């Protein structure tokens, strides 16, 4: 499973791509930060983030996108910018029919460190260790994006399987919905196309 993690932000939007399955070593394929200038108009900044995220999705062809779930902070302007950047990532995923996982910062921290209140240094250290990196990913936005991707690889797939199992076991349950069947077919076609050098949309 190949997951792109997005740590949304207007000035720095972290993006990390991780590949692997639960219970086995993970591999980092890419990490970077999409940057915009605070001096630019908000519309231009969102356009820059949109172009950056879309280019990376087209390049790395993930099977799913993991985005940080925005939560209330004291600085309302910061929350607004973060939410807008998160929306860009969600639309980019929806445009391609990619499944999206929303994870809170505490969920991502708990997934990689075992502690939902871990600080940035602890998260970066564990991400570096889990991915077998020689040097820690910088800045912190990049490490957070990788943590989101790792969280989704380990938790997202399991949650989806549990949800399908619950629906199948429910009275009158028929297993996967048509939308899930279509998504599974699309993911399989995308994986096949990836091996041939195409995106497989």
Cβ within 8 Å of residue 169, ≥6 positions away: none
Residue 141 is a catalytic residue: yes
How far, in Å, CA of 70 to CA of 8, rounded? 9
119 is in an annotated binding site: no
Q: Under a CB-based contact definition with an 8 Å cutoff, are residues 16 and 136 in contact?
A: no
The residue from 39, 40, 63, 141 that is catalytic is 141
Q: Under a CB-based contact definition with an 8 Å cutoff, are residues 108 and 151 in contact?
A: yes
Residue 19 is a catalytic residue: no
Residue 41 is a catalytic residue: no
Phi, psi torsion values for 9, nearest 5 degrees: -175, 150
* Cα 19 versus chain centre, distance: 12
How far, in Å, CA of 103 to CA of 106, rounded? 8
58 is in an annotated binding site: no
The residue from 7, 63, 107, 144 that is catalytic is 7
The residue from 63, 68, 107, 144 that is catalytic is 68
Tokens coding 193 = 């196309």
141 is in an annotated binding site: yes
Helix axes 105-113, 140-151, angle to 10 degrees: 80
Positions marked catalytic: 7, 68, 141
**Annotated binding site: which residue ranges?**
7, 68, 141
**Annotated binding site for Mg(2+): which residue ranges?**
7, 68, 141
């Amino acid at each position: 499973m190949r997951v792109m993690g997005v740590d949304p932000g207007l000035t720095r939007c972290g993006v990390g791509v991780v590949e692997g399955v639960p219970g086995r070593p993970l591999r980092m394929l890419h990490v970077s930060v999409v940057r915009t200038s605070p001096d630019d108009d908000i519309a231009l900044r969102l356009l820059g983030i949109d172009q950056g995220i879309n280019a990376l999705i087209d390049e790395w062809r993930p099977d799913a996108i993991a985005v940080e779930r925005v939560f209330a902070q004291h600085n309302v302007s910061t929350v607004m910018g973060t939410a807008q950047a998160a929306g860009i990532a969600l639309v980019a995923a929806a445009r391609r029919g990619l499944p999206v996982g929303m994870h809170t910062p505490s969920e991502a921290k708990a997934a990689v460190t075992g502690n939902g209140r871990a600080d940035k240094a602890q998260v970066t250290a564990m991400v570096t260790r889990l991915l077998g990196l020689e040097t820690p990913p910088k800045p912190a936005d990049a490490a957070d994006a990788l943590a989101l991707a790792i969280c989704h690889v380990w938790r997202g797939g399991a949650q989806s399987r549990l949800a399908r199992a619950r629906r199948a076991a429910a009275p009158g349950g028929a297993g996967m919905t048509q939308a899930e069947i279509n998504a599974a077919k699309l993911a399989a076609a995308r994986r096949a196309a990836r091996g041939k050098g195409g995106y497989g949309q």
